[in-house]
Structure 1
Amino acid sequence: MEKEKDGMGDRNDRREGKGVRSRITDMSRAWVIKFISRAFNKCLRIVQRALTPASAHGDSEGLIQKPESISIQRPKTASYVRIDIGLSDDASHSAECLLDNEDRLIVGIEPHPENIRGLIYGTSKAYSVSLKDGLVRHGFNCKFISDLRSKFIVINGAAGSSEIPTKRRFYSAYPDKGNSSLYKIQSPKSTGNITDREFDVTEFPLSDLLEKIKNAGFQFVETLKIDTEGHELEVLKGCGENIRNILFCRVECFKGIYENSRYAKPESQPAHIILGQNGFHDSATAIIEYLGKYKFKLVSSRPGDYVFLNQALEGLLKEHEVYP
């Protein structure tokens, strides 16, 4: 019996040892992938800098605009313009578009300074944009865009419904800075984050920006993408009547039952979000109703990625190949 027990003990030890080795292998593989990704980015920067005249290197100054002094100029090679609200540090939505077709002017808005740094120098995430080096990447698929600095405008601020640029309190999320918000919504159970610090940002309406885009010579805005952790409706309100010049709106909103919503605090949520029993979360209804007033119809409702089409501009789909 003791031998049998010893045998079973040996087998259990081997199983535990195998499990530990498996976990170690998985961790090692993850670190290797991360190391290769960072090394790949670094090599690309070295190659790009070697091919770029020294006079063009400069520094990061001039890459980022302020809400009080936005300037929009149309690059000769830009056929369309897109607005990306809530870039985070990887600008995945805009990066995907530029990798497919670079004849776009991207106007992005991002309030978090650490995310701004990621946009200037690039990240090790699946998507990456490096304004300083003119690189756009997804995985190991990388494109050098020589005039990226003029095609990718980044405004360090927050879009909203304020009539003029206004200071607002901003709550930084940790570890995922992309979940930072104008609302104090962070908790480990509801968002997987904590609020690591607070600071002021400048909120401004999109109405003036849309007017400047029109004056720059663009017939319409291809897509307005909004991912602002609860502030989406206020961003839309800030467009004013110029919202009629937008073909597609892509808005982060939800309507359903989500496990993490069980732990969301109603008092910390924006007024238009409805929380119910068993984790019910509805941030979509108010946005659908608002855009409906301007003849936008819902054409896709994937959780977190609702797509609306401006019916008044629907005829443009027959004249242009565009990206929602």
Structure 2
Amino acid sequence: MKILVKFILDLFDTITEIKTTKFLKKILSNDINVLIDVGSHKGEYISNIIKNFKYNKIYSFEPNPKIFDELNKKLSNKKNIKLNLLGVGDCEKIETLHQNLESSSTSINELNTSSKYFKKKYFFLNPFNNKLVTRPIEIKVITLSSFIKNNEIPNIDLLKIDTEGYELKVIKGLGEEIKKIKFIHFEHHFDDMIIKNYNLSNIHNYLGKYKFQKIFKIKMKFRKSFEYIYKNNNQVL
């Protein structure tokens, strides 16, 4: 059953990826100067970018050491890709990362074990309740504001964020450097499996203050999750 469910989810995720990539090609013309990928996981997003776009520089952030090793093995031989074993947030600090049984759900935010969605999901992932669901570790967190300044990055074509409920803090950590970004692509969960103290309207309103406009939305099948792309209307595209 677990294998079948994963196969179905992977299939629909591929369809979602194809549709999203088609839209990205439309707005980026197959050419990306700078991509910042926050929450790179095993390099799925970057691999898709490499396959479909010409790029000059990619900055990757993945704070989970186990997953970072896989990411490093996969992408370390690629040109002009800088891999960073770091978390990203709204201030620089040492934070607790909750390494979850399903690595793609790993987050600085804690799991809500009372959530119906959590119980349903982990029924398939851990049916005999014999595995450790979460393992906390300490990680270093930086802000994109300081990173962009320190690396003297003049502009960013695309910022992708997939941090399992930490997206708003990543965005706030840009400060005024947010003005250098043309497009922001992020995932938002509407389920309550991961505890977060904000909702989509908080992100939408914050981006709106900097003249960002929502231009793309797609639902991830069999999940209470959507992907969004916002355009910086202050940028000359």
**TM-score normalised by L of structure 2:** 0.74
> What's 2:177 paired with?
242
> Is the CA contact 1:173–1:186 (under 8 Å) kept in the aligned structure 2?
no
Alignment CA distance shift 1:120-1:297 (3 Å): same
Query: What residue number does 1:144 align with?
Result: none
Is contact 1:98–1:104 with CA below 8 Å preserved after alignment? no
Aligned match of 2:197 in 271, 281, 291?
A: 271
Cα distance in 2, alignment partners of residues 306 and 79 from structure 1: 18
What is the rounded CA distance, in whole Å, between the counterparts of 1:242 and 1:190 in structure 2?
A: 40
How far off its partner does 1:101 sit?
A: 2.8
Corresponding residue to 1:110 among 62, 67, 84? 62
Task: Go from structure 1 to structure 2 and tell me whether the alpha carbon gap of 1:118 and 1:224 turns closer, same or farther (over 3 Å shift).
Answer: same
Greater Rg by CA: 1
Counterpart of 2:128? Answer: none
Deviation at 1:103, TM superposition (A): 2.8
1:223 aligned partner: 158
The ranges of structure 1 where at least 4 consecutive aligned residues each deviate by more than 4 angstroms after the TM superposition are none
Q: Cα deviation per residue 1:245-288 (whole Å; 9 max; x = unaligned)?
A: 00000111145xxxxx3xx36xx62211xxxxxxxxxx321110
Whether contact under 8 Å (1:83, 1:224) holds in the other structure is yes
Q: Percent identity?
A: 23
The answer for the alignment partner of 1:55 in structure 2 is none
**Contact conserved, 2:72 with 2:83, CA < 8 A, in 1?**
no
Other-structure match for 2:99: 172
Q: Which residue in the other structure is 1:189 paired with?
A: 119
Deviation at 1:241, TM superposition (A): 0.4
Aligned positions, number: 193
Q: C-alpha separation between the residues in 2 aligned to 1:79 and 1:171?
A: 32
Name the counterpart of 1:119: 71
For structure 2, the 5+ residue unaligned runs are 8-30, 126-131, 220-225
1:203 equivalent in structure 2: 141
Structure 2: distance between partners of 1:210 and 1:270: 26
Are 2:32 and 2:158, in contact at CA under 8 Å, matched by a contact in 1? no
Q: Which runs of 5+ in 1 are unaligned?
A: 1-22, 31-77, 123-129, 135-147, 256-260, 273-282, 317-324
1:186 Cα shift? Answer: 5.9
